[in-house]
Amino acid sequence: MKVNKLSDFGYAFQIKLIAALFKDKLFLQQISDILDSSYFESEANIIILDIIKDYYREYNSLPTIEAMKVKIIEMDNELLKKSIADNIKEAFKEMEAEDLDFVKEKALEFCKNQEIKKAIIESVELLNRGDYDSIKVKVDNAMKAGVEKDVGHEYAEHIDERYLESVRNTVTTGWDAIDDIADGGLGKGELGVMVAPAGIGKSWALVNVGANAIRAGLNVIHYTLELNAAYVGLRYDSVFTGIQAQELKYNIDEVKKKVETLKGDLIVKYYPTKAATVNTISAHIQRCMAHGKKPDLIIVDYADLLRGHGKEVRLELGNIYEDLRGLAGEYEIPVWTASQANRSALEDDIIGAEKIAESYSKIMTADFVLSLSRKIEDKLANTGRWHVIKNRFGPDGITFPSKMNASNGQIDIYVDTSIQGKETTKEMDNHNEYLRKMMKKKFDEMN
């Protein structure tokens, strides 16, 4: 049956729907934004609905019968006042009706269908313009209409929940130094960003985060917008086995044995630079979930290479990072990505927020931001400095020494007071001496 008005369900249904709005605050909260008064044909019911919604928006509570009386008294039309009063009385009589849950379910279904119809009609013009991303957003929003039932964390009621270990379920980075200050790693709905100049090791670092999650038994989707999928897969092979990338082809059996022991799973998806949007990634995640491959961690290498909405670069990048964090929240999974630092950061010991390319809003949006500094001497010595630019979960402004081997992707980050941290710091402080010894060793090998 084609239903375009609530009146098609009959008078009794409409009265019971009004009864549910008076009785159930959660239902009112859920349907308020999608239940349009135009769906009623009776002027009395239209006014009742408008009063209920206005009262809820202003006081965040259900209107009492006394409040309704005051609103009705203010009206001039005596005939309409009587009709409204009669309908309210009938509604209060139906407060305990046995089929009230059925009425609520059908009303939500009706309103949701109306939202989908609107989205389809409004998408015609977007289709003519070829704006498929906007169509997807519009249809997705329509599909989500009226489905949220959780009003949120009720402070007084949920005291115990705030102290459960599962309040913030995190995914480890695999680096104890970082996990400790990030309160366990990155949590559901959170965005982490690694900042470094080109060619410093951002992609290797993201692979390490993904690999450590897989070792922990989690499922990872790694989106690559620069390197092809097979090449990223080789990098994971190197990180898991410790074998240099150029030697992997001679050690395929060892790679296979190592992969068989992994507890988690990995999907690597390649999109050409600036060919994919955050909506593209969202659609792919849904496709993976439909095949039973729900991710526990998302990696995007890297967000600056996603396509935005055609605005100036600074605003476009800001929106991309906001959308990416929105995606993390929508699927309740952590997202790690990377961002480019300015070329002037190449010779800096520590890279701060002011060196992030194009848009500072990246920092404002992210929950955790790490920068990586590796000068020429660091590359030769396999060292680097990780600096915490932003941390919502603990202290920031801290710098950690690191050992980094770009030939096999092995990255270790140390607390500077640890034995390894002190040794690495000393090594970085004495780069000239280290280079002298290395050059002597090379000379001796040649002779």
0.75 exceeded by pTM: no
Confidence of residue 439 (pLDDT cuts 50, 70, 90): low
Q: Whole-number mean pLDDT of the chain?
A: 85
Distance between CA atoms of residues 77 and 96, nearest Å = 31
- Tell whether the torsion through CA atoms of 294, 191, 170 and 219 is positive or negative: positive
Distance between CA atoms of residues 245 and 238, nearest Å = 6
Of the candidate ranges 1-10, 31-40, 58-67, the one whose mean pLDDT is the lowest: 1-10
CA 381 to chain centre: 36
Q: How many CB atoms lie within 10 A of CB 213?
A: 26
Strand, coil or helix: 218: coil
Q: Could you list the beta-strand ranges (E) of 291-374.
A: 297-301, 335-340, 368-373
Helix (H) or strand (E) holding 391: strand 383-391
**Which pLDDT tens digit goes with each residue over 378-413?**
888 899 999 999 999 999 999 999 999 989 999 999
Q: Is 401 exposed, middle or buried (0-12, 13-18, 19+ CB in 10 A)?
A: buried
Q: For the domain with range 6-144, which CATH number is right: 2.40.230, 1.10.860, 2.60.120, 1.20.272?
A: 1.10.860
DSSP label of 263: S
**Which pLDDT tens digit goes with each residue over 252-296?**
999 999 999 999 999 999 999 998 999 899 989 988 887 888 999
pLDDT value at residue 178 = 96
Confidence of residue 127 (pLDDT cuts 50, 70, 90): confident
Contact (CB, 8 A) for 416 and 396: no
DSSP string, 139-194: HHHHHHTT--------TTT-TGGGGSGGGG-EE--S-HHHHHHTTTSEETT-EEEE
Of the candidate ranges 55-59, 73-77, 138-142, 265-269, the one whose mean pLDDT is the lowest: 138-142
Q: Show me where the domains of the chain are located.
A: 6-144, 167-446
302: preceding bond cis by omega (within 30 degrees): yes
Contact (CB, 8 A) for 241 and 254: yes
Confidence of residue 251 (pLDDT cuts 50, 70, 90): very high
For the cut 90, the answer to whether the pLDDT of residue 67 exceeds it is no
Distance between CA atoms of residues 9 and 6, nearest Å = 6
Helix (H) or strand (E) holding 129: helix 100-129
Q: For the domain with range 167-446, which CATH number is right: 3.40.1130.10, 3.40.50.300, 3.40.605.10, 1.10.10.10?
A: 3.40.50.300
State the amino acid at position 428 in one-letter form.
M
In 246-371, alpha helices (H): 252-260, 278-290, 313-331, 361-365
Do the domains 167-446 and 6-144 match in fold? no
State the amino acid at position 221 in one-letter form.
I
